[in-house]
């Protein structure tokens, strides 16, 4: 009897309403999307597989991706070399696996950085308002009013071609869309009662921005991130193809495709790294499409 | 009234954007530790202090950066965009030469993208959730997921190298002389010359790069058309049209499609901008003597007078295209008010 009462009391705090945290909400959303949308689930599975490959590639590559062997250069796909070998006799299968590390993390990293920069920038712009807002937003629009790939190419060439400068260039062309979304969220949310309440309780501007407004605008920012993921992976691959990624021996999908340009007849040199880019971009876009369909209630009805 | 004010505001914005773009590229170009004097003058002229002084004075190189920028703007307004370090020619002359090739390719490409995209979108929406809808949706996602450089190489390998159905890189075959129509648009030039063998050859050369370049935009348009049509089809006036006994084809073609295509206009504008960016890669792969290849070569050569010129040209096209789509949007959808 006594025991039971004790148990009951222990349970009470657990049944209390607890605001689910952002990560929990994200996970629930992800899980529901996977259940209701086949293509989203497919994209998520492929993408997860590639992420796993990123982490374990050093342990599963059959050959050293940098090991050259001129005796077997340009050998066609075979049991020993599943994807064949390239112009320096390196195993392409190993290089595709190893190349996932830079090629995929470049896309993910540039999205995270762009979203962070854009969110802070747009948050400040929307929060301060007035002339500051006008000037900041015109600056952001300046970047948008220009084809991204050409701007990124110019920036990365001007800074000197290197992996970091190329990533920086991609961030420079990507962040403004996040700034715009964040700004419009701030302007809408600023008028809400709970923000008024926080203000009247004497909360500082920074607290209102980070504690009240930011958690509520994370949704649209995440949607945009999902939509941009495939695009940024492609942009990085393109710049890498143009020779603006890391220096040559490092395996990188875009550059590996360009390795095959000169020796056209050996189709496998370009084909497999290209297929790797395609599968990752497809997976990312399947997820992005699913999220966009979900966000558009008119399309949701028909699912 | 509203429209005029709107137009003026947009044109002012166009000027400001161009100033911004030029400023941006100008600052970028001066972050590079390269000596423009050494890059621009030949070795012999470098020993001639008078020439060096004249060159420095013309571009204000001994002045602070902001003075140099104003000098550039002043020269630009006089139609002088500087001399390309790489080609040793006037940037303006270079751009005039390469521009038509890019525009011909882009327009051909956008036509393919629009026709296929709208067609796929309509079929996809009509046969919603059927097998063919799934296929077409997959194709549209594929279109936006293909790495253009790789797709271009694959198409060249299959249709040129293996099958030999289509010609390889370049604008015209080896057996033809450059058309002398004067427009620089080879299709139009060939028509003017009534040289139909040449016309066919130019067309065949255009096909592959145009398809590769347009795949992305085609995917976007398919998606937007499908979504737009599905949205419109659920409206009351469509139900009315059906209720009065119209055939389904008439309902879609006469009543639904017009409204469904309005958002597609915006996507076409966006797609065209994307196309311009894509020309960098496509023109490099297909040996297409256009502005994209010029931009790439200039960038890798740190040829900044050329880069600023190309950037300004592309930014201008991009903004004008967006302005046109916005205006079209307003004409097609009377609910849109310019403010």
Instruction: Provide the 10 A C-beta neighbour count for residue B311.
Output: 26
Angle, vertex CA B298, rays to CA B296 and CA B299, nearest 5: 65
Whether residues B236 and B269 fall in one domain: yes
Contacts of B21 in chain A (CB under 8 A): 142, 145-146
Take residue B251 and report the two structure tokens written for it.
């309902």
Residue of B nearest to A141 (CA): B17
- pLDDT cut 70: percent of chain A above it: 90
Whether residues B160 and B102 fall in one domain: yes
Whether residue B326 is contained in a domain is answered as yes
- pLDDT cut 90: percent of chain B above it: 10
Question: Is B21 in contact with A285 (Cβ distance < 8 A)?
Answer: no
In chain B, alpha helices (H):
2-29, 36-40, 43-46, 49-59, 65-77, 91-126, 131-145, 148-155, 186-192, 196-233, 236-243, 248-250, 257-260, 262-285, 291-300, 304-332
Question: Is A145 in contact with B149 (Cβ distance < 8 A)?
Answer: no
Question: Is B32 in contact with A158 (Cβ distance < 8 A)?
Answer: yes
Binning pLDDT at 50, 70 and 90, where does residue B40 land? low
Contacts of A277 in chain B (CB under 8 A): 147, 150
Whether residues B62 and B169 fall in one domain: no
Binning pLDDT at 50, 70 and 90, where does residue A116 land? very high
- The predicted pLDDT at position A51 comes to 92
Instruction: Give yes or no for residue B246 having a pLDDT over 90.
Output: no
Whether residues B62 and B171 fall in one domain: no
- The predicted pLDDT at position A99 comes to 86
Whether residue B338 is contained in a domain is answered as no
Chain A interface includes B210 (CB < 8 A) = no
Whether residue A92 is contained in a domain is answered as yes
Residue of B nearest to A266 (CA): B157
Please report, for the domain that includes residue B123, its CATH number.
1.10.3720.10
- The predicted pLDDT at position B112 comes to 93
- The predicted pLDDT at position B45 comes to 67
Going by C-alpha positions, the residue among A117, A134, A243 that lies closest to residue A178 is A117
What is the count of structural domains for chain B?
2
Whether residues B150 and B40 fall in one domain: no
Asked which of A140-154, A244-258, B226-240 is least confident by mean pLDDT, the reply is A140-154
Top residue of A134, A141, A157, A303 to mutate, by most chain B CBs within 10 Å, is A157
Region for B128 from its dihedrals, namely left if φ exceeds 0, alpha if ψ lies in -120 to 50, beta otherwise: beta
pLDDT in tens, A204-234: 877 887 777 887 788 788 888 888 898 899 9
Chain A interface includes B316 (CB < 8 A) = no
Q: How far is CA A118 from CA A126, A143, B221, in A?
A: 12, 12, 28
Instruction: Give yes or no for residue A106 having a pLDDT over 50.
Output: yes
Whether residues B283 and B323 fall in one domain: no
Question: Is B314 in contact with A147 (Cβ distance < 8 A)?
Answer: yes
- The predicted pLDDT at position B277 comes to 83
Q: Distance from B178 to chain A by nearest Cα, in Å?
A: 27
Contacts of A34 (CB under 8 A, 6+ apart): A40, A41, A44
The Cβ-side half-sphere exposure at B186, using a 13 Å CA radius, reads: 28
Residue of B nearest to A154 (CA): B299
Higher pLDDT, A252 or B175: A252
Higher pLDDT, A109 or A76: A109
Instruction: Give yes or no for residue A237 having a pLDDT over 80.
Output: yes
Binning pLDDT at 50, 70 and 90, where does residue B211 land? very high
Question: Is B296 in contact with A154 (Cβ distance < 8 A)?
Answer: no
Binning pLDDT at 50, 70 and 90, where does residue B235 land? confident
Question: Is A145 in contact with B32 (Cβ distance < 8 A)?
Answer: no
Question: Is A274 in contact with B153 (Cβ distance < 8 A)?
Answer: yes
Top residue of A158, A255, A284, A298 to mutate, by most chain B CBs within 10 Å, is A158
Whether residues B49 and B172 fall in one domain: no
Whether residue A71 is contained in a domain is answered as no
- The predicted pLDDT at position A154 comes to 81
Asked which of A69-73, A172-176, B99-103 is least confident by mean pLDDT, the reply is A69-73
Please identify among residues 135-194 of chain B the ones whose CB lies closer than 8 Å to any CB of chain A: 137, 141-142, 144-151, 153-154, 156-157, 161
- Give the residues across from B83 on adjacent strands: B90
Whether residue B190 is contained in a domain is answered as yes
If you average pLDDT over residues B58-85, what whole number do you get?
77
Whether residues B280 and B190 fall in one domain: yes
- The predicted pLDDT at position A301 comes to 43
- The predicted pLDDT at position A112 comes to 94
Binning pLDDT at 50, 70 and 90, where does residue A18 land? low
Instruction: Give yes or no for residue A101 having a pLDDT over 80.
Output: yes
Chain A interface includes B23 (CB < 8 A) = no
Instruction: Give yes or no for residue B291 having a pLDDT over 80.
Output: yes
Binning pLDDT at 50, 70 and 90, where does residue B212 land? very high
Per-chain mean pLDDT for chain B: 82
Whether residue B306 is contained in a domain is answered as yes
Whether residues B69 and B108 fall in one domain: no
pLDDT in tens, A264-295: 778 888 888 999 999 999 999 988 888 877 77
Binning pLDDT at 50, 70 and 90, where does residue A76 land? confident
Binning pLDDT at 50, 70 and 90, where does residue B31 land? low
CA distance A148 to B302: 19
Q: How far is CA B329 from CA B25, B278, B325, B338, in A?
A: 32, 25, 6, 11
Contacts of B225 in chain A (CB under 8 A): none
Highest mean pLDDT (candidates A183-197, B261-275, B278-292): B278-292
Whether residue B86 is contained in a domain is answered as no
Question: Is B277 in contact with A302 (Cβ distance < 8 A)?
Answer: no
In A75-213, alpha helices (H):
92-128, 130-144, 148-159, 163-189, 193-200, 205-207
- The predicted pLDDT at position B114 comes to 92
Contacts of A153 in chain B (CB under 8 A): 280, 295-296, 299
Highest mean pLDDT (candidates A4-8, A251-255, B160-164): A251-255
Q: Distance from A186 to chain B by nearest Cα, in Å?
A: 22
Nearest to B17 among A142, A158, A234 (CB): A142
What is the count of structural domains for chain A?
1
- The predicted pLDDT at position A7 comes to 55
Please report, for the domain that includes residue A186, its CATH number.
1.10.3720.10
Binning pLDDT at 50, 70 and 90, where does residue A303 land? very low
Residue of A nearest to B320 (CA): A145
Q: Distance from A161 to chain B by nearest Cα, in Å?
A: 9
Contacts of A142 in chain B (CB under 8 A): 17, 20-21, 24
Question: Is B273 in contact with A147 (Cβ distance < 8 A)?
Answer: yes
pLDDT in tens, B192-209: 777 777 778 888 888 899
Whether residue A133 is contained in a domain is answered as yes
If you average pLDDT over residues B139-167, what whole number do you get?
88
User: What single-letter DSSP state applies at residue A70?
Assistant: G
Whether residues B102 and B69 fall in one domain: no
Q: What is the ipTM of this complex?
A: 0.83
Whether residue B194 is contained in a domain is answered as yes
Residue of A nearest to B317 (CA): A146
Binning pLDDT at 50, 70 and 90, where does residue A47 land? very high
Instruction: Give yes or no for residue B312 having a pLDDT over 80.
Output: yes
- For chain A, helix, strand, coil in percent to 5 are 75, 0, 25
Higher pLDDT, A260 or B181: A260
CA distance B214 to B106: 8
Range of the domain at A170: 31-62+81-295
Top residue of B220, B230, B277 to mutate, by most chain A CBs within 10 Å, is B277
Whether residue A131 is contained in a domain is answered as yes
Whether residues B101 and B173 fall in one domain: yes
Whether residues B287 and B308 fall in one domain: no
Whether residue B336 is contained in a domain is answered as no
- The predicted pLDDT at position A302 comes to 41
Range of the domain at B6: 1-80+301-331
Whether residue B339 is contained in a domain is answered as no
């Amino acid at each position: 009897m006594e025991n039971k009462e004790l148990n009951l009391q222990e349970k009470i705090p657990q049944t209390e309403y607890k605001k689910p945290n952002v990560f929990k909400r994200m996970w629930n959303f992800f899980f529901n999307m996977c259940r209701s949308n086949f293509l989203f689930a497919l994209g998520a599975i492929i993408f997860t597989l590639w992420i796993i490959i990123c982490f374990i590639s050093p342990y599963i590559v059959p050959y050293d991706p940098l090991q050259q062997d001129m005796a077997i250069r340009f050998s066609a796909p075979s049991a020993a070399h599943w994807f064949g070998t390239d112009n320096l006799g390196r195993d392409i299968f190993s290089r595709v696996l190893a190349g996932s590390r830079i090629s995929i993390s470049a896309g993910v990293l540039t999205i995270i950085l762009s979203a962070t920069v854009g969110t802070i920038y747009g948050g400040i712009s929307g929060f301060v308002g007035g002339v500051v807002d006008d000037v900041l937003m015109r600056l952001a629009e300046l970047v948008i009013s220009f084809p991204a790939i050409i701007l990124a190419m110019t920036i990365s060439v001007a800074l000197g071609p290197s992996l970091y400068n190329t990533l920086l260039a991609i961030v420079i062309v990507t962040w403004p869309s996040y700034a715009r979304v964040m700004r419009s969220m701030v302007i809408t949310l600023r008028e809400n009662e709970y923000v008024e309440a926080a203000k009247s309780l004497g909360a500082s501007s920074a607290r209102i921005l980070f504690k009240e407004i930011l958690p509520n605008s994370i949704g649209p920012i995440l949607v945009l991130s999902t939509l941009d993921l495939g695009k940024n992976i492609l942009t990085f691959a393109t710049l890498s193809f143009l020779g603006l990624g890391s220096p040559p021996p490092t395996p990188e999908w875009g550059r590996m495709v360009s390795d095959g340009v000169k020796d056209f007849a050996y189709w496998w040199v370009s084909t497999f790294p290209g297929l790797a880019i395609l599968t990752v971009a497809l997976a990312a876009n399947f997820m992005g499409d699913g999220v966009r369909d979900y966000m558009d209630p008119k399309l949701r009805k028909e699912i | 009234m509203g429209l005029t004010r709107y137009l003026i505001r947009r044109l002012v914005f166009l000027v400001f954007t161009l100033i911004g773009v030029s400023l941006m590229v100008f600052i970028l170009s001066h972050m590079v530790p390269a000596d423009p004097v050494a890059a621009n003058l030949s070795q012999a002229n470098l020993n001639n202090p008078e020439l060096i002084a004249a060159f420095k004075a013309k571009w204000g190189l001994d002045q602070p950066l902001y003075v140099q920028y104003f000098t550039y703007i002043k020269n630009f307004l006089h139609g002088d965009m500087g001399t390309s370090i790489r080609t040793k020619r006037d940037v303006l002359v270079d751009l005039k030469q390469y521009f038509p090739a890019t525009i011909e390719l882009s327009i051909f490409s956008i036509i393919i993208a629009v026709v296929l995209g709208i067609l796929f979108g309509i079929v996809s929406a009509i046969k919603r959730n059927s097998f063919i809808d799934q296929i077409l949706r997959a194709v549209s996602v594929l279109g936006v997921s293909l790495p253009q450089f790789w797709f271009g190489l694959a198409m060249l390998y299959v249709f040129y190298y293996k099958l030999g159905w289509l010609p390889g890189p370049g604008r015209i075959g080896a057996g033809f002389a450059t058309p002398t129509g004067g427009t620089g648009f080879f299709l139009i030039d060939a028509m003017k010359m009534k040289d139909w063998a040449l016309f066919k050859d130019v067309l065949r050369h255009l096909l592959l790069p145009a398809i590769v370049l347009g795949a992305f935009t085609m995917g976007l348009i398919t998606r937007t058309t499908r979504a737009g049509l599905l949205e419109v089809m659920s409206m009351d006036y469509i139900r009315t049209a059906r209720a009065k006994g119209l055939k389904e084809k008439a309902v879609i073609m006469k009543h639904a499609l017009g409204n469904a295509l309005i958002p597609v206009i915006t996507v076409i504008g966006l797609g065209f901008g994307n196309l311009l960016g894509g020309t960098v890669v496509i023109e490099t792969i297909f040996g297409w003597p256009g502005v994209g290849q010029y931009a790439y070569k200039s960038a890798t050569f740190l040829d900044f007078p050329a880069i600023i010129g190309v950037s300004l040209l592309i930014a201008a096209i991009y903004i004008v295209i967006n302005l046109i789509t916005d205006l079209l949007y307003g004409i097609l959808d009377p609910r849109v008010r310019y403010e």
